[in-house]
């Protein structure tokens, strides 16, 4: 009797010594959240049990779960050489190929045959049934067998997982999500390192239309397919921007908007118990992303500001945006709050002193509190989402 399952091999978490149990548990929980609890930990790998051949949404969900190195739809049978031979022949006769190899491994050593013996026996059986040749170096199909205790897993396809660490093992961050290309990619990069991201989008409605909010929601939905249920804060900045316009020099507006965003995001971080902020800045990409301006922003940040894209070229960022599925949404037109009331040539080298002077006439604390209080918070569930992805 054979059963269907997806064999999941993990990534670096296998290497993390003392933390391993913690990481593995988080990976199991993250997987359970999307594949209905049918996850079993089995001697250094995970099994996701399915009723028949795994459906597309199950494979898709597994393929978006950080911490996974590779995954393979498999048949699980009893660890018995005759059963293995029969299974190998059945699986291989349903495929077209010229050359093949068998690659057996024993996770537990109580099986009476060595891995080599299994390779030879199954190889001979498959050869007899199909007439195909064995090629150990570059086979068209490699049939893998993993013997684990009284069970064995047999599979021929292996898909690459997203790698990284399971979301949640690195704690929580607040990611500043604009409607652009970069910040969703920055968020993805930090999720990949095991952080859970709360998303924070600033908009200028009613001074602008609501296109940026709708965009942020759509991007949040895509990010949720990578990290699971996602919290999104939509924060109105327009009134505060108006006050900055009245009291500070025009060329400082962009950097002062940014300083305000970072302070409000830090307020969100306090509420959410997040330990760092994340932005999509890439050094020198635009006027607001010079070292001088980054220094002005970080000067008012009460917690670390992580910038995963700081050394990336736009092309690399675009490529990743396409891969993770945010690009098409990011390039839709929208009214960006940062371009509201902004002169043609914003300062590229603002100084901390000039920023402080520009803010002298403002009650910054009150502005932060007022924006924070008017935030609209939504929780984007992944229930049903990954199923339809």
Binding region for ligand ATP (CB under 6 A): 176-178, 180-183, 200-202, 261, 279-281, 285-286, 288-289, 337-338
Q: 274 is in the binding site of which of ligand ATP, Mg ion, none (Cβ under 5 to 8 A by kind)?
A: none
Collapsed DSSP state (helix, strand, coil) of residue 250: helix
Mode of pairing for the β-strands spanning 172-176 and 276-278: parallel
Size of the site for Mg ion (CB under 5 A): 2
Q: 279 is in the binding site of which of Mg ion, ligand ATP, none (Cβ under 5 to 8 A by kind)?
A: ligand ATP
Q: 113 is in the binding site of which of Mg ion, ligand ATP, none (Cβ under 5 to 8 A by kind)?
A: none
CB of 122 to ligand ATP, least distance (A): 52
Rg of the chain in Å (alpha carbons): 26
Phi, psi torsion values for 165, nearest 5 degrees: -120, 150
CB of 77 to Mg ion, least distance (A): 53
Q: Is 350 in contact with 258 (CB distance < 8 Å)? A: no
CA distance readout (Å), 373 to 272, 302, 330, 368: 14, 19, 27, 9
CB of 182 to Mg ion, least distance (A): 7
346 binds Mg ion (CB under 5 A): no
Q: Considering beta carbons, is residue 164 or 180 the nearer one to Mg ion? A: 180
Question: By CB under 5 A, which span of 175-183, 199-207, 290-298, 346-354 interacts with Mg ion?
Answer: 175-183
CB of 178 to Mg ion, least distance (A): 4
Q: Is 326 in contact with 319 (CB distance < 8 Å)? A: no
CB of 236 to Mg ion, least distance (A): 18
180 binds Mg ion (CB under 5 A): yes
Per residue, the 3-state secondary structure of 332-363, as one string, reads CCCCCHHHCCCCCCCCCCCCHHHHHHHHCCCC
Whole-angstrom distance, CA of residue 336 vs CA of residue 333: 9
Q: Considering beta carbons, is residue 180 or 184 the nearer one to Mg ion? A: 180
Residue 242 backbone class (left: φ over 0; alpha: ψ -120 to 50; beta: rest)? alpha
Whole-angstrom distance, CA of residue 301 vs CA of residue 22: 31
Q: Considering beta carbons, is residue 127 or 285 the nearer one to ligand ATP? A: 285
CB of 38 to Mg ion, least distance (A): 41
Q: 288 is in the binding site of which of ligand ATP, Mg ion, none (Cβ under 5 to 8 A by kind)?
A: ligand ATP
Mode of pairing for the β-strands spanning 141-148 and 39-42: unpaired
Q: 359 is in the binding site of which of ligand ATP, Mg ion, none (Cβ under 5 to 8 A by kind)?
A: none
Question: Which residue is listed with tokens 């490529």?
Answer: 319
Q: 286 is in the binding site of which of ligand ATP, Mg ion, none (Cβ under 5 to 8 A by kind)?
A: ligand ATP
Residues 6+ apart with CB under 8 A from 110: 149
Whole-angstrom distance, CA of residue 67 vs CA of residue 216: 26
184 binds Mg ion (CB under 5 A): no
Collapsed DSSP state (helix, strand, coil) of residue 8: strand
CB of 335 to ligand ATP, least distance (A): 10
Whole-angstrom distance, CA of residue 388 vs CA of residue 58: 10
CB of 183 to ligand ATP, least distance (A): 3
Q: Shortest Cβ contact with ligand ATP: which residue? A: 180
178 binds Mg ion (CB under 5 A): yes
Binding site for Mg ion (CB under 5 A): 178, 180
């Amino acid at each position: 009797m054979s059963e269907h399952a997806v064999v999941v091999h993990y990534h670096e978490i296998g290497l993390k010594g003392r933390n391993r149990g913690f990481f593995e548990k988080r990976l199991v929980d993250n997987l359970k959240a999307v594949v209905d609890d049918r996850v079993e930990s089995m001697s250094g790998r995970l099994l996701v049990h399915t009723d028949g051949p795994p459906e597309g949404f199950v494979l898709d969900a597994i393929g978006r779960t950080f911490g996974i190195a590779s995954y393979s739809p498999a048949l699980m049978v009893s660890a018995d050489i005759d059963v293995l031979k029969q299974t190998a022949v059945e699986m291989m006769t349903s495929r077209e190929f010229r050359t093949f190899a068998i690659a057996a491994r024993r996770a537990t050593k109580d099986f009476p045959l060595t891995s080599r013996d299994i390779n030879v026996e199954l190889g001979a059986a498959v050869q007899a049934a199909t007439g195909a040749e064995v090629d150990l170096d570059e086979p068209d199909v490699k049939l893998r067998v993993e013997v684990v205790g009284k069970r064995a897993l047999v599979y021929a396809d292996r898909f690459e997982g997203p790698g990284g660490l399971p979301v949640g093992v690195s704690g929580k961050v607040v990611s500043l999500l604009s409607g652009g290309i970069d910040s969703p990619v920055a968020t993805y990069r930090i999720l990949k390192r095991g952080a859970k991201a709360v998303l924070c989008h600033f908009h200028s409605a009613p001074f602008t239309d609501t296109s940026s909010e709708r965009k942020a929601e759509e991007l949040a939905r895509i990010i949720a397919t990578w990290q699971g249920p996602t919290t999104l804060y939509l924060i109105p900045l327009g009134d505060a921007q108006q006050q900055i316009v009245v009291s500070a020099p025009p060329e400082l507006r962009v950097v002062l908007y940014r300083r305000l965003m970072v302070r409000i995001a830090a307020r969100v971080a306090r509420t959410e118990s997040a330990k760092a902020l994340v932005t999509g800045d890439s050094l020198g990409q635009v006027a607001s992303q010079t070292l001088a301006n980054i220094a002005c922003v970080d000067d008012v940040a009460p917690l670390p500001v992580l910038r995963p894209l700081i050394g990336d070229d736009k092309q690399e960022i675009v490529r990743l945006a396409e891969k993770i599925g945010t690009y098409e949404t990011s390039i839709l037109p929208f009214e960006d709050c940062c371009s509201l009331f902004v002169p043609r040539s914003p300062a590229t080298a603002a100084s901390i002193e000039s920023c402080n002077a520009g803010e002298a006439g403002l009650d910054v604390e009150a502005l932060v509190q007022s924006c924070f209080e008017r935030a609209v918070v939504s929780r984007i569930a992944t229930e049903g989402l990954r199923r339809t992805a």
